[in-house]
Amino acid sequence: MADNETFDVIVVGGGAVGENAADRASRSGLSVALVEHALVGGECSYWACMPSKALLRPGAALAAARAVPGAEAAADVDVSATLARRDEVAAHWDDSGQVSWVESVGLTLLRGHARFTGPRELVLTSEDGEQRVSARHAVIVATGSAAIVPDVDGLAAAKPWTSREATSVRQVPARLVVLGGGVVGVEMATVFADFGSEVTLVVRGDRLLAGAEPFAGEAVATSLESLGVTVLFGAEATAVARDDDGVHVTLGDRTVDADEILVATGRRPRTDDLGLESVGLTPGRPIEVDDTLAATGADGGWLFAVGDVTGRTATTHQGKYDARVVGDVVAARFGSDETLRAAETDAGPWSRYRATADEASVPQVVFSRPEVAWVGHTEASARKAGIDVRVVPYDLANLAGASVLSPDYGGTAQLVLDDARGTIVGATFVGPDVAEMLHAATIAVVGQVPLARLWHAVPAYPTLSEVWLRFGEAAGL
């Protein structure tokens, strides 16, 4: 590559989000470079969504089989076969498949660590040296996030695992302490309990999955305990030490001993080594954006950010949604197609040029056992938003579809209605196999569909989706 090469658009960060933004921006004929300093495909492909789900699936499949007479599986999870499958799902940490895709859609892949040197200008550092590149029109930052290691006495020196070490594990520890009761903590506690580790889950608050309905966290806590996990609520690590016997985690007046400690206490945007100070932004902070994903703190309209780095989204699906928006916005604003430019200028809230689904309709699935899936408001968040709320709970065990899955099926679903309008503003499902039920609720929330209208959307018998019929009955239709 020539020094100081210029592209119409440069995307920094080749994770799932950056790849999608770059692809979308390039469809209008703009030249687009994608910069990546590690593996193209990012966290989701190699250390997050995909390997974690590969690690969780065998335990879930066995539990489903064990739950139904006629298919009771006797065996435990086969750890080495599970790890081998995880390796395949993570493409053996080889990004050549993703690189082929990047090239096939006409993007230029640049390898190296990118830092801004000024507006629209970057220096890329790799083992081959330094390279300067410039963007004629726009830079989109999609550098993602990294695990936070909390400032606990001795923790950093004890070489804790983050989600990366947990999802790429080769040696299963006999004893594992997990700090944090959010999605990552819950999913990884499940995996290592399935693998036979003695797991202690340390939770600062009084419930798991604090962003979900309280009944979801309660069901998951009960289930983790039945898997042998010790769940400690109201507990906080105050000191950690490692010696030849393993790690020793002080929780106030008690100590838990383990072989490894996993920190799952949140993530921070990867902006600390990006040269943000040269474009007027603060390193270490998320890059704040508006609904077109334009950075609100930078002048000139050339800087955009998308994905985890914005602090606005924390999932791949929502980041990719924003990626499609920012790619289209950049294509319209800087490409030569006047029709696209006019459409972007006139864009309303339902337009594909505005990321309006980042507020009241975000879907989230936790692949715990039971699965937890929710979209939009919880009862508490709806009340906080000033909505006159009506809650419609339903016991999924009453459904014929549930009894087909297992005579002992246990699960709960709950709708949150805007009582004045009769529309659905939130839904939560907790139980085996509920993840795939979520999108029907997402469509209802985004479409602002009145529950009365859904009376005419007939669910097939005998499926779990019959809960929609029961919701209608419970609401008095």
The answer to whether 373 and 363 have CB atoms below 8 angstroms apart is: yes
Minimum distance from residue 182 beta carbon to ligand FAD (Å): 10
Handedness of CA 351, 352, 354, 355 (dihedral sign): positive
Does 274 participate in binding ligand FAD (rule CB under 6 A)?
yes
Look up residue 379 and give its amino acid. Answer: E
Report the residue number, 185 or 431, with the smaller CB distance to ligand FAD.
Answer: 185
Does 231 participate in binding ligand FAD (rule CB under 6 A)?
no
**Which helix or strand (DSSP H or E) is residue 258 part of?**
strand 254-258
Does 111 participate in binding ligand FAD (rule CB under 6 A)?
no
Figure out which of the listed residues 8, 9, 18, 95 binds ligand FAD, where binding follows CB under 6 A: 18
Can you tell me the distance from the alpha carbon of 304 to that of 278, in angstroms, rounded to the nearest whole number? 15
Minimum distance from residue 465 beta carbon to ligand FAD (Å): 22
CB count in 10 Å sphere of residue 380: 13
Phi (first) and psi of residue 87, to 5 degrees: -60, -40
Can you tell me the distance from the alpha carbon of 399 to that of 402, in angstroms, rounded to the nearest whole number? 5
Look up residue 424 and give its amino acid. Answer: I
Does 438 participate in binding ligand FAD (rule CB under 6 A)?
no
Does 314 participate in binding ligand FAD (rule CB under 6 A)?
yes
Figure out which of the listed residues 13, 311, 376, 472 binds ligand FAD, where binding follows CB under 6 A: 13
Report the residue number, 86 or 248, with the smaller CB distance to ligand FAD.
Answer: 86
The answer to whether 464 and 437 have CB atoms below 8 angstroms apart is: yes
Does 141 participate in binding ligand FAD (rule CB under 6 A)?
no
Does 269 participate in binding ligand FAD (rule CB under 6 A)?
no
Q: Which stretch binds ligand FAD (CB under 6 A): 16-24, 75-83, 237-245, 334-342?
A: 16-24
Does 82 participate in binding ligand FAD (rule CB under 6 A)?
no
Does 181 participate in binding ligand FAD (rule CB under 6 A)?
no
Figure out which of the listed residues 34, 56, 155, 184 binds ligand FAD, where binding follows CB under 6 A: 184
- What is Dmax (Cα atoms) for the chain? 69
Q: Is 293 strand, coil or helix?
A: coil
Report the residue number, 57 or 470, with the smaller CB distance to ligand FAD.
Answer: 57
Site string for ligand FAD, 31-60 (x = CB under 6 A): ----xxxx---xxx---xx--xx-------
Does 143 participate in binding ligand FAD (rule CB under 6 A)?
yes
Can you tell me the distance from the alpha carbon of 350 to that of 340, in angstroms, rounded to the nearest whole number? 16
Q: Which stretch binds ligand FAD (CB under 6 A): 216-224, 242-250, 312-320, 442-450?
A: 312-320
Long-range Cβ contacts of 459-464 (<8 Å, 24+ apart):
461/400, 461/401, 462/399, 462/400, 462/401, 462/403, 462/404, 463/401, 464/396, 464/399, 464/401, 464/402, 464/405, 464/431, 464/433, 464/434, 464/437
Minimum distance from residue 86 beta carbon to ligand FAD (Å): 12
Q: Is 242 strand, coil or helix?
A: strand
Report the residue number, 114 or 430, with the smaller CB distance to ligand FAD.
Answer: 114
Does 15 participate in binding ligand FAD (rule CB under 6 A)?
yes
Figure out which of the listed residues 180, 181, 182, 307 binds ligand FAD, where binding follows CB under 6 A: 307
**Degrees to nearest 5, angle at CA 79 with 431 and 172:** 100
Classify 394 in phi/psi space as left (phi over 0), alpha (psi -120 to 50) or beta: beta
Figure out which of the listed residues 292, 315, 361, 406 binds ligand FAD, where binding follows CB under 6 A: 315
Can you tell me the distance from the alpha carbon of 308 to that of 305, in angstroms, rounded to the nearest whole number? 9
Q: Which residues bind ligand FAD (CB under 6 A)?
A: 12-18, 35-38, 42-44, 48-49, 52-53, 113-114, 142-145, 163, 167, 184, 270, 274, 307-308, 314-317, 319
